[in-house]
Chain A
Amino acid sequence: MVNVSTGPWQHSQLKRAKQYKQRGSMLVEVAVLLPLFLFIVFSALELARGLILYASLNHVMSEAARQVKLSAASGANYQAKLLQAMRTNPASLLDSSKLVVEQAKFYSSPETLANQEPNNSVVDKNGLLAKYSISYQVTLLSPWLEGLFPFSADILVKHEPER
């Protein structure tokens, strides 16, 4: 008789306990996997953002280098000119305040360039080969992607002789 009255009650209690247990295990699994899943999703978004910025950096740098090499002037500050040309490019997707010209090296001939012997002391840089290194100081949400994207680029141009 006792068994008949308490059976269903015990059964429902047990079922509820199992449901709680199940819910708990799901929670633990989701808690373990969600960070990993979010990491992959956000990394993919960051990767896409990185690719766009990298492509824009290359484009802006090439355009600026072309502009500067055609407007060569004796003893001019090419780095400032290059930076100015990059900052004023309307097609740029970059934050212009984060662009930095890291290095400018000048070479008098392909031979000195092949031997890595720059000569930056030459005042008149018309007709010289120039290598510019540009970097973009970007902060990514996934710092590990910074190894994949150096966000820097080099370009080699020949300054046109002044006419």
Chain B
Amino acid sequence: MSQANLNFNAPSAHRRLTQQQGVVMVEFLAVLPFLLMIVLLTFDLTSYLQKQSKLERLSYSLATIISHREQYYQKDAVSDELPLTQKQVTELTRIARNELSQQDIAVKVYEFNNQYTAGEPISFSNGSGDCAWRSAGAVAENLPKASNGTVEPGLFMVQLCQDIKGTSLFAKFSDSSDFSHLYARSVMVKREKRHDD
């Protein structure tokens, strides 16, 4: 009789309390995948920023090297002119791959010499064909020009492309080519070899 009274006096409170046990855990488990996704994307973004920063610094260094090439490749000179060659660009690519410890690095070098007036300049590349190289023609429009329309002084533009499909989660899950490669480029004035060297 007393048991019956008790059941009657405490109708569903006990059931409700019992049912609420573990609610925090269940809610947390529901939110956990989103939390983990945010954490992983944060890692991805961090890694992306680090790689981009390294690539930009390297493109500046490579542009410096190629702009001083008269100091290094004098033996390749043809009648006082030192043309940009595939060998020079291949060496730059090897340097880039060593510096970044990654083989999926491509390099493209443009030369705006004193014969260049418009269109695509002389260029050599080495590496992946997947890279969507930015046209140098658009860059040339803003370059200083001499009265005869040629680019003065001579310039080099180094473009670097790094494939990150294998290392970036975001690149892996998005099909867009915008996220599968990193790009960096630097423009450097051609340095003449000093006659007193």
Residues of A within 8 A of B (CB): 2-3, 6-8, 10-11, 14-15, 18-19, 21-22, 25-26, 29-30, 32-33, 40, 43-44, 47, 50-51, 54-55, 58, 62, 109-111, 113-114, 116, 127, 129, 131, 148-149, 153-158, 161
- What 1/0 flags go to B35-79 for Cβ under 8 Å of A? 100010011001101100110011001001100110110000000
Measured CB to CB, the closest approach of chain A to B18, in angstroms, equals 8
- Sorted from nearest, which 10 A-B pairs have the closest CB atoms? A156-B61, A114-B94, A29-B24, A114-B91, A3-B2, A109-B72, A25-B21, A11-B9, A7-B5, A110-B91
Interface of B: prevailing SS:
helix
Residue of A nearest to B87 (CB): A111
Please judge, given known A-B contacts A18-B13, A40-B39, A148-B43, whether A62 and B57 are in contact too, CB under 8 Å: yes
Residues of A within 8 A of B14 (CB): 14, 18
Q: Does B10 lie at the interface of the complex (its beta carbon under 8 Å from any beta carbon of A)?
A: yes
Q: How far is the CB of B119 from chain A (nearest CB, A)?
A: 28
Docked pose: A109 CA to B91 CA in angstroms: 10
User: What residues of B have a CB within 8 angstroms of the CB of A32 in the complex?
Assistant: 25
- Give the number of residues in B that approach A within 8 Å (Cβ atoms): 43
Give how many A-B residue pairs fall within 8 Å (CB-CB). Answer: 97
Instruction: Find chain B residues with CB under 8 A from A2 CB.
Output: 2
B115 interface contact, C-beta 8 A: no
In angstroms, Cα B10 to Cα A33, docked, is 32
| Distance in angstroms between the alpha carbons of A25 and B28 in the assembled complex | 15
Render B85-123 as a binary contact track against A, CB cut-off 8 A, 1 for contact. 000100110110011000000000000000000000000
